[in-house]
A and B are shown apart, each in its own frame.
Chain A
Amino acid sequence: DVKVTQSSRYLVKRTGEKVFLECVQDMDHENMFWYRQDPGLGLRLIYFSYDVKMKEKGDIPEGYSVSREKKERFSLILESASTNQTSMYLCASTTTVGAYEQYFGPGTRLTVT
């Protein structure tokens, strides 16, 4: 079974803090994604990576950065957390062939106060 794990289920941070969200997958997938999920807005793509050290902006990259130093790990960084970044963050991975099923982690609910 594919497994995507995220470092925390719940996180509370203060405005201005630097926040790291970690995601690890164990299926040797090339592609990894970070989304945020907000009620009524669905999932919105923040960043994705199609290879080690490669990254591309998604639809809402402002205020975020990412790091992919190893194939299995994709990190989302909030350089200076703000209250409007309070959200559920979901990580996903997929291979490059086939129907591109994305496998999701359980999510991190981040609250910025």
Chain B
Amino acid sequence: GEDVEQSLFLSVREGDSSVINCTYTDSSSTYLYWYKQEPGAGLQLLTYIFSNMDMKQDQRLTVLLNKKDKHLSLRIADTQTGDSAIYFCAESRTGGGNKLTFGTGTQLKVEL
């Protein structure tokens, strides 16, 4: 079946860059997404990339997509303590219905 994988934890120092990685399985996914979940809250869309793009930049966020390896990454520049959260990657599913398959989530901890 479909599987989206992420490492469970990442720890960085404030001011450093964070890179969160994700591998997905469905090569026909139209969009790939990064969601952020702060403690006690639901998920919030951070950014998304269309499958025919290799890179997308949005302020401190850079998304890289390697379709050949089915690898997606999210880079956060100048990481701040407010970036501490769980980050989920997700892929759109084939077969319609606007369904997404979510990864396991990466807990990012930013240390002073």
Contacts and interface: CB of A to CB of B under 8 A. Distances in A.
Given A48-B97, A50-B97, A100-B31, A106 B105 contact: no
B97 A107 contact: no
B25 interface: no
A22 to B, nearest CB: 15
Interface of B: 1, 4, 6, 8, 31, 33, 40-45, 48, 50, 88, 92, 97-100, 102-105
Interface in A72-106: 90, 92, 94, 96, 99-106
A31 B92 CA distance: 14
B108 to A, nearest CB: 15
A-B pairs with lowest CB-CB distance, top 6: A104-B42, A43-B102, A42-B104, A104-B43, A100-B98, A42-B102
7 contacts: A31-B97, A33-B99, A96-B98, A100-B92, A100-B98, A100-B100, A101-B45
Contacts of B6: 42
Contacts of A92: 42-43
B98 A31 contact: yes
B40 A106 contact: yes
A39 B99 CA distance: 21
A100 B101 CA distance: 13
Interface residues of A, number: 28
A48 B99 contact: yes
Given A94-B98, A101-B48, A102-B100, A40 B8 contact: yes
A101 B8 CA distance: 24
Contacts of B40: 106-107
A27 interface: no
Interface-centre pick from A33, A35, A42 (highest chain B CB count, 10 A): A42
A28 interface: no
